């Protein structure tokens, strides 16, 4: 049995590394060094925000707007960015494997989809970020996968004396905005694990569409898969826009000093790296969607070509038997006086003539390639 997911985890992140502290809001204190990262599941935040928000205001000296609290609680909100003079609000829809644990009582549970099994497991649940100068509040789906995975990257595997070297190797974020970009980068990179399997699943459909013996009938699932890919592309576009707007506000968040200018430059480099990863995902999704569209068009082109071949062959066979029908119809007329009607050799000559006409017509059509081998059924 899997371990239960902690509803809230609080980390003190500073230059020497990351330390998990008591999650009780009454024990929170404004850090003199580094910053606090408060990672909370959405259902817990929904129940405990009357207690969490005053503690957060005590830490930061600023209150979350009611509209932004509603945005953090909304599991279906698209990726977006908003800002006030005290903090940035960023909603980023993660793109990864769907999980069994979802926000209870909310609409985050994915509907059943048709298509390849990998498309049925794609999850685009929203992750919310409230980014203050010394505090980062993140709201996650109830599986807590993003929070726990990134914390596992930063937490040492075991207590060490030389913690500085291990922290440097792990890449400890310098401030809440740096941590936000790192978490988002991990969210985007999680899609890379899906690309291979998703490509193989859709390639299987392409092969089935183009196989000459295929009798493809799963059109509703194929259309649903195309719709899902289109939704993923739209989600990536929203992600790109939200991160771009978030990065555009870095300059006025820091003082005009050499150290802060260097920090802004590093943040912009990291933001551009995240944007490049999102663009890579967009290109991959667009390519898959285009490949499915091309496979469908080629499927109908192949079916049309095969139908034309069948009709051409049937027409040629009809043309071969047409003169034979004419001969049998002529000698089948009920007249008393007809040539060769009483000749003992009439049947043999007629049969030989009919065979000669059939072979000659067949050779003519074969030379014109009207009787080429049909594609397999």
**pLDDT tens string 109-139:** 334 444 455 555 566 788 999 999 889 999 9
Q: Residue 356 region, left (φ>0) first, then alpha (ψ -120 to 50), else beta?
A: alpha
User: What is the C-alpha separation between 57 and 54, in angstroms, rounded?
Assistant: 5
Q: Are strands 8-14 and 122-123 parallel, antiparallel or unpaired?
A: unpaired
What's the CA gap between 269 and 333, in Å, rounded? Answer: 94
Q: Quick check: 128 and 94 in contact, CB under 8 A?
A: no
Q: Regarding beta strands 96-97 and 88-93, do their DSSP bridges make them parallel or antiparallel, or are they unpaired?
A: unpaired
Average the pLDDT over 143-151 and give the result. Answer: 87
The whole-number average pLDDT for the span 241-253 is 86
Residue 274 pLDDT > 50: yes
Q: Do residues 333 and 276 share a domain?
A: no
Number of other CB atoms surrounding residue 97 within 10 Å: 14
Please indicate, yes or no, whether residues 192 and 225 belong to a single structural domain of this protein. Answer: yes
Percent of the chain with pLDDT over 70: 80
CATH number of 357's domain = 1.20.58
**Which tens digits make up the pLDDT trace of 76-105?**
888 999 999 899 999 998 865 554 444 433
- For residue 12, give the H/E element and its range: strand 8-14
Task: Examine residue 376 and state whether it is found in any structural domain, yes or no.
Answer: no
Residues 283 and 311 in one domain: no
One domain for residues 71 and 16? yes
How remote is the C-alpha of 39 from its chain's centroid? 26
Q: What is the pLDDT of residue 376?
A: 53
pLDDT tens-digit map of 38-74: 999 999 999 998 899 999 998 888 999 999 999 999 9
Q: State whether 162 and 251 are in the same domain.
A: yes
The reply to whether 375 falls in a domain is no
pLDDT tier, 193 (very low <50, low <70, confident <90, very high otherwise):
low
DSSP string for residues in 332-360:
TS--SS-TTTT-TTHHHHHHHHHHHHHHH
Domain end call among 260, 276, 301: 301
Measured at the alpha carbon of residue 82, what is the angle toward residues 78 and 86, in degrees to the nearest 5? 145
> Residue 34: pLDDT band by 50, 70, 90 thresholds?
confident
Please indicate, yes or no, if residue 24 is contained in any of the structural domains: yes
CATH assignment of the domain containing 251: 3.30.460.20
- As a whole number of angstroms, the distance between CA 130 and CA 180 comes to 9
The residues, ordered by sequence, that sit 6+ positions from 172 with a Cβ below 8 Å of its Cβ are 13, 14, 15, 16, 17, 18, 154
Mean pLDDT of 195-200: 71
- Count the Cβ atoms, other than its own, within 10 Å of residue 271: 22
Q: Contact 82/68 with Cβ under 8 angstroms?
A: yes
Is 1 a residue whose pLDDT tops 50?
no
Contact 194, 357 (CB under 8 A): no
Residue 295 lies inside a defined structural domain of this protein: yes
| Residue 101 to residue 6: CA distance in whole angstroms | 13
What per-residue confidence (pLDDT) applies to 251? Answer: 74
* Pair 236, 346 in one domain: no
Residues 107 and 158: beta-carbon distance below 8 Å: no
Token reading at 249: 């506000």
Q: Tell me the residue range of the domain where 339 lies.
A: 305-367
Confidence of residue 161 (pLDDT cuts 50, 70, 90): very low
Identify the pLDDT of residue 119.
59
Residue 252 lies in a domain: yes
Quick one: which of 177, 328, 335 has its CA closest to 247?
177
CA distances from 345 to 197, 274, 359 (A): 74, 92, 21
Number of domains in the chain: 2
Q: Are residues 330 and 183 in the same domain?
A: no
What is residue 52's predicted lDDT score, i.e. its pLDDT? 92
30 in Cβ contact with 15 (< 8 Å):
no
Is there a domain that residue 362 lies in?
Answer: yes
- With respect to residue 240, please indicate whether it lies within any of the assigned structural domains: yes
pLDDT of residue 218 exceeding 80, the answer is no
Write the pLDDT tens digit of every residue in 323-356: 888 888 877 777 777 777 777 787 788 888 888 8
Q: Are residues 346 and 279 in the same domain?
A: no
Domain check: are 282 and 337 in the same one?
no
Query: SS3 of 204, please?
Result: helix
Residues 225 and 319 in one domain: no
Residues 214 and 342 in one domain: no
What lies within 8 Å, CB to CB, of 132 at 6+ separation is 59, 60, 62, 86, 87, 176
Mean pLDDT of 308-335: 81
Measured distance CA(327)–CA(29) in Å, rounded:
107
Residues 377 and 237: their CA atoms lie apart, in Å, by 43
Domain boundary among 270, 301, 332: 301
Q: Is residue 125 part of a domain?
A: yes
Average pLDDT of the residues of the chain: 78
Does 120 lie in the same domain as 47?
yes
Determine the Cα angle at 51 with ends 47 and 57, to 5°. 130
27 CB neighbour count, 10 Å cutoff: 10
């Amino acid at each position: 049995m899997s371990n239960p997911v902690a509803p809230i985890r609080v980390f003190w992140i500073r230059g020497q590394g990351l330390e998990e502290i008591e999650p009780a809001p009454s024990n929170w204190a404004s850090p003199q060094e580094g910053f606090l990262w408060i990672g909370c599941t959405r259902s817990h935040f929904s129940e405990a925000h009357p207690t969490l928000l005053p503690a957060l205001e005590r830490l930061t000296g600023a209150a979350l707007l009611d509209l932004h609290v509603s945005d953090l609680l909304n599991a279906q909100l698209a990726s977006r960015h908003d800002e006030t003079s005290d903090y940035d609000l960023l909603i980023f829809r993660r793109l990864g494997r769907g999980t069994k644990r979802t926000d209870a009582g909310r609409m985050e549970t994915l509907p059943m989809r048709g298509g390849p099994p990998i498309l049925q497991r794609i999850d685009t649940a929203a992750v919310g970020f409230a980014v203050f100068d010394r505090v980062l509040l993140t709201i996650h789906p109830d599986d807590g996968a993003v929070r726990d995975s990134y914390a596992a990257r930063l937490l040492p595997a075991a207590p060490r004396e030389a913690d500085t070297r291990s922290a440097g190797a792990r890449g400890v974020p310098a401030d809440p905005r740096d941590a936000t970009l790192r978490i988002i980068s991990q969210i985007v990179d999680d899609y890379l694990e899906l690309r291979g399997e998703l490509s193989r699943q859709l390639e299987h459909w392409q092969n089935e569409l183009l196989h000459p013996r295929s009798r493809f009938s799963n059109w509703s699932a194929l259309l649903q898969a195309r719709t899902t890919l289109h939704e993923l592309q739209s989600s990536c576009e929203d992600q790109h826009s939200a991160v771009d707007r978030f990065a555009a506000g870095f300059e006025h968040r820091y003082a005009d000093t050499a150290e802060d200018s260097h920090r802004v430059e590093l943040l912009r480099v990291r933001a551009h790296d995240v944007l490049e990863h999102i663009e890579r995902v967009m290109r991959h999704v667009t390519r898959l969607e285009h490949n499915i569209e091309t496979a469908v068009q080629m499927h109908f082109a192949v079916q049309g070509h095969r139908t034309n071949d069948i009709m051409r062959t049937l027409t040629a066979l009809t043309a071969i038997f047409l003169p034979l029908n004419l001969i049998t119809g002529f000698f089948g007329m009920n007249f008393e006086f007809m040539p060769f009607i009483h000749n003992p050799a009439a049947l043999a000559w007629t049969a030989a003539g009919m065979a000669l006409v059939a072979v000659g017509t067949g050779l003519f059509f074969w030379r014109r390639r009207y009787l080429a081998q049909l594609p397999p059924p």
